[in-house]
Structure 1
Amino acid sequence: MDAKPRAAARPKRIPGGRDGRRMLAIALVDRTGSGLWASVSVLYFTYVSGLSVAEVGTLAAAAGAVGIAGAPLGGRLADRLPITRVLISLQLLRALASLALLTTDNYTLLLAYSAVGSLGDRAANVLTKLYATRIAGPDRVRTQPHTPTDANVGGALGGLAAAAALAAATAYRWLLAGDALSFAAAALLTLRCGEPPSPSRIAATSKDTAPTTRPANPWRDRAYLAYVATETVLSLDDAVFKIGLSLWIAHTSHAPHGLAALLLVLNNVLVVALQVPLARLGTTTAAARNLLIPLSAAFGLGGITMALSADGGTSTTPLLLTVSAIAFTLAEMLHATVSWELSVALAPDTAQGAYLGVHGLAQSAQRSLGPLAVTAAIATGPIGWTTFGATIAATCLVQRRLVRDRLARTPLSVPPVTVSEH
């Protein structure tokens, strides 16, 4: 009898093989440590460092402003140096900045150390995405959904660990030390990752490349800068869950205050459960662009239901707020898929790092603009939330038209991927 044919090899779930899985593990460790610190940072500066409310707010704002420079700086370095070495250096820098906070209560030094940590955080965030993009190659769309999933799981684990530690009266300093150790562990894990090919460095060393040829400059690419501007608006959903929901519920008499925490848990659960399945809707560049239509609808629905909750009763208000949270979570997941693919597809291979670094400015900028946008929506009431949702919904359609001509001049960067390949 003929030997039975060998079963077809089972496709890898994570493109990039071991290095792809290691980078996801690194992201999980990183975000777990960040979750520890994010949960207690305000309390640490208030009760341990003895800062006033105004000083804590100024420190956070200043550190965030400095962090904006981290994304383009990290991207530029990744086009010139091995990305793993840069990432290791940034993780160690973040670890040192966290440990340095333990050494002083001087406001100027706390501000400086926080700014350095913020700079490293935004740069490392861009480099993690760039590494995943390079190691996965054409299959990068299948890597994308695992990144926000790991971030949510890591943030939740860190938050739960911090809550347990505080309940047990564990010192705030140990939580900050745990944050620093997570960055050191991430650096050690990165040492085991292989260096992916860099199109920009290959082009720079190629004998066929003319000496006078310069890589594309994202700061002179008006179309890409306009795209990044729309990305800043589309990223405002982040502020809804960090600030908007809690403040709105606090000012809505018919909603129990405990609902805010439950909706945040719902957000994390939905992202962990649905991010990977939803990413199958954007398996090509063209498909990712078309997702901007349902993304627009999700933002519009989120704003309308938030506005309607102001006039609801004791039963309808929680229901409307839940629908709004689901709509904004759906928007968050769809935008993650769209943003990952379009930001890479619109960037020239020879300047990928620089372009993704500029794209990272969108997330950095929304950290400052987001709180202002949602507090303005809350201050103006239902019409404010309707305008908030409608503005982002309209921006989705603007972005869809904006990238159309650019993509028409460029072949699709990602071949079709069947659902079975997941």
Structure 2
Amino acid sequence: MLWIALVDKTGTGLWAGAAALYFTTVSGLGIAEVGLLLSLSGAVGIAGSPLAGRIADRVPLTRLLVALQLVRALGALALFTTDAYGLLLLYAAVGSLGDRAANVVTKLYAARVTGPDRVRYQAVNRTVSNIGFSLGGLAAAAALAVGTAAAYRSLLLGDALSYLAVAALTLRCGEPPAPSRVVASSDGVVPAAPTSPWRDRTYLLYTASDAVLSLHDSVFRVGIPLWIVHATAAPEELAPLLMVLNSGLVVFCQVPLARFGATTAAARNLLRPLAGTFLVSTLALAASAAGGPWAAVTALTVAAVTLTLAEMLHSVVSWEFSVALAPGEAQGAYLGVHGLAQSAQRSGGPLAATAAVAAGPAAWLAMGVLLAATCWGQLRLVRDHPATPEPVAEPKPEPEPVAEPASPTRIRRP
């Protein structure tokens, strides 16, 4: 699965930074039209997480993953066929739906395959994904420097081909063991009643709090670049350098940090330092507007390092509890609901980040307090929940016993 992650994220890196420019340069859309298209298609994609999670508990995961990768590829390739706004919106929405659905099913596949080692696997997977995204981003930068319509189309084609390659690689993967759907009874075993995450108050509250903690993504990718330009004396070219710093820290530090959250109890304890890193990072962001260029660069670097640390700690905690709080027989449905946290953050996070930039330093301090309070609230929410037992494969039915004929010497006479 790591090779699949590398190929997938390389394709994502090709397209992520060029999508808006493709629609303006190649399709001829206005800036407002592009913003609406990306927002609406992203909103449609939100449905992909719970929908795929529900289906994943009922069908083989490898087949579902292949189908979803083909949906992503078709959505990308279809963009070549038209410049009509309505059709572009439809095709982008199909791609977004497939993207969010594939993300949840891939996570479920990893959880079933790795079992108790899921946190370490997630750390390695994030490292590989960051490498792939960086490779794709470098290739995209070269194409954007050319700036022609053909260069933009090559990035879209590369993205579509990456999905086809991922589908082909997935066909070579074995099917992980499905969790058991039986429970004990006085008469033997009976099918377990389906469990719904929509009735699990603890899991819904956890998902909502995780959406808040995921704001670090929008703060880094949207808030910091805008803050550098509009509120500090730091040079504009610092923004991409901080992005490189972020990727480098994740590549080299995510796996070593994962050992501190290898169990449910250990992951729970990480919520305390996570609260502290959020407070330090937002305090540094606020302070960066108060000094000259060197003071601003120093404060922004501190903010970037601590926010990246928060990102890595949150990744460990989120991965562990999204699985540990889910019952084995309904992991797909639960992870599908948890996928809404990322989807909600992608939709609302940029608005929160831009609002903080517009409001000034006090808004960053308020955001830091909110994030720290959410960490403590999540700590109280999960403190009484031990790790969910690992799912086991369905037991094979025992052969029916064959009754032996009674011996004549054991028959009693009336």
Same-fold call, TM cutoff 0.5: yes
> What is the aligned partner in structure 2 of residue 37 from structure 1?
15
C-alpha deviation, 1:223, in angstroms:
0.8
C-alpha deviation, 1:128, in angstroms:
1.1
Is 2:295 the partner of 1:316? Answer: yes
What letter matches 2:176 in structure 1? P
The CA distance in 1 between the partners of 2:158 and 2:201, in whole Å, is 43
> Is the 1:84–1:195 Cα contact (8 Å) retained in structure 2?
yes
> What is the aligned partner in structure 2 of residue 237 from structure 1?
216
> Is the 1:98–1:117 Cα contact (8 Å) retained in structure 2?
yes
The CA distance in 2 between the partners of 1:289 and 1:59, in whole Å, is 39
Report the count of equivalent residues. Answer: 387
C-alpha deviation, 1:375, in angstroms:
1.1
> Is the 2:13–2:132 Cα contact (8 Å) retained in structure 1?
yes
> What is the aligned partner in structure 2 of residue 177 from structure 1?
157
> Is the 2:130–2:251 Cα contact (8 Å) retained in structure 1?
yes
> What is the aligned partner in structure 2 of residue 90 from structure 1?
68
The CA distance in 1 between the partners of 2:382 and 2:32, in whole Å, is 42
Cα-to-partner distance string for 1:354-395 (whole Å, 9 max, x where unaligned): 001100100000001101111111111010000111111110
C-alpha deviation, 1:171, in angstroms:
2.2
Q: Secondary structure at the match of 1:210?
A: strand
> What is the aligned partner in structure 1 of residue 317 from structure 2?
338
> What is the aligned partner in structure 1 of residue 205 from structure 2?
226
The runs of 4+ residues in structure 1 deviating greater than 2 Å are 165-171, 206-211, 410-414
Is 2:42 the partner of 1:64? Answer: yes
C-alpha deviation, 1:141, in angstroms:
2.0
Is 2:308 the partner of 1:329? Answer: yes
The CA distance in 1 between the partners of 2:16 and 2:363, in whole Å, is 28
The CA distance in 2 between the partners of 1:110 and 1:352, in whole Å, is 34
Q: Which segments of 5 or more consecutive residues in structure 2 lack a partner in the other structure?
A: 392-414
The CA distance in 2 between the partners of 1:394 and 1:332, in whole Å, is 16
What letter matches 2:326 in structure 1? A
The CA distance in 1 between the partners of 2:294 and 2:168, in whole Å, is 51
Q: TM-score, normalised by structure 1?
A: 0.89
Cα-to-partner distance string for 1:195-217 (whole Å, 9 max, x where unaligned): 001115x549x995435x42210
> What is the aligned partner in structure 2 of residue 257 from structure 1?
236
What letter matches 1:351 in structure 2? A
Q: Which segments of 5 or more consecutive residues in structure 1 lack a partner in the other structure?
A: 1-22, 415-422
The CA distance in 1 between the partners of 2:189 and 2:41, in whole Å, is 41
> What is the aligned partner in structure 2 of residue 157 from structure 1?
135
Q: Secondary structure at the match of 1:395?
A: helix
Pick the aligned partner of 2:86 from 99, 108, 120: 108
> Is the 2:232–2:296 Cα contact (8 Å) retained in structure 1?
no
Pick the aligned partner of 2:190 from 197, 206, 210: 210
The CA distance in 2 between the partners of 1:208 and 1:289, in whole Å, is 37
The CA distance in 2 between the partners of 1:234 and 1:411, in whole Å, is 23
Q: TM-score, normalised by structure 2?
A: 0.91
Q: Secondary structure at the match of 1:251?
A: helix
Question: For structure 1, which segment, 371-380 or 338-347, has the greater mean C-alpha deviation from structure 2 after superposition?
Answer: 371-380
Q: Secondary structure at the match of 2:364?
A: helix
The CA distance in 1 between the partners of 2:11 and 2:377, in whole Å, is 37
What letter matches 1:247 in structure 2? L
> Is the 2:73–2:163 Cα contact (8 Å) retained in structure 1?
yes
Is 2:179 the partner of 1:199? Answer: yes
Q: Secondary structure at the match of 1:256?
A: coil
Is 2:250 the partner of 1:271? Answer: yes
Greater Rg, structure 1 or structure 2? 2
Pick the aligned partner of 2:108 from 130, 147, 158: 130
The CA distance in 1 between the partners of 2:158 and 2:288, in whole Å, is 40
> What is the aligned partner in structure 2 of residue 357 from structure 1?
336
The CA distance in 1 between the partners of 2:318 and 2:388, in whole Å, is 18
Cα-to-partner distance string for 1:268-300 (whole Å, 9 max, x where unaligned): 000001000011111111000100000010111
> Is the 2:275–2:372 Cα contact (8 Å) retained in structure 1?
yes
What letter matches 1:118 in structure 2? S
The CA distance in 2 between the partners of 1:253 and 1:296, in whole Å, is 25
Distance 1:332-1:66 versus aligned 2 partners, 3 A rule: same
> Is the 1:95–1:181 Cα contact (8 Å) retained in structure 2?
yes
Question: For structure 1, which segment, 168-177 or 125-134, has the greater mean C-alpha deviation from structure 2 after superposition?
Answer: 168-177
What letter matches 1:161 in structure 2? A
> What is the aligned partner in structure 1 of residue 276 from structure 2?
297
Is 2:53 the partner of 1:78? Answer: no
Question: For structure 1, which segment, 286-295 or 142-151, has the greater mean C-alpha deviation from structure 2 after superposition?
Answer: 142-151
C-alpha deviation, 1:122, in angstroms:
0.6
> Is the 1:284–1:412 Cα contact (8 Å) retained in structure 2?
no
Q: Secondary structure at the match of 2:383?
A: helix
> What is the aligned partner in structure 2 of residue 399 from structure 1?
378
Question: For structure 1, which segment, 245-254 or 84-93, has the greater mean C-alpha deviation from structure 2 after superposition?
Answer: 245-254
What letter matches 1:188 in structure 2? A
Q: CA RMSD in A?
A: 1.7
> What is the aligned partner in structure 1 of residue 3 from structure 2?
25
Matched ranges for 1:4-19 at <5 A: none
What letter matches 2:47 in structure 1? A
The CA distance in 1 between the partners of 2:128 and 2:182, in whole Å, is 33
Percent of aligned positions with the same letter in both sequences?
Answer: 63
What letter matches 1:141 in structure 2? V
The CA distance in 2 between the partners of 1:125 and 1:195, in whole Å, is 17
What letter matches 2:168 in structure 1? L
The CA distance in 2 between the partners of 1:411 and 1:56, in whole Å, is 44
Q: Secondary structure at the match of 1:130?
A: helix
Question: For structure 1, which segment, 103-112 or 132-141, has the greater mean C-alpha deviation from structure 2 after superposition?
Answer: 132-141
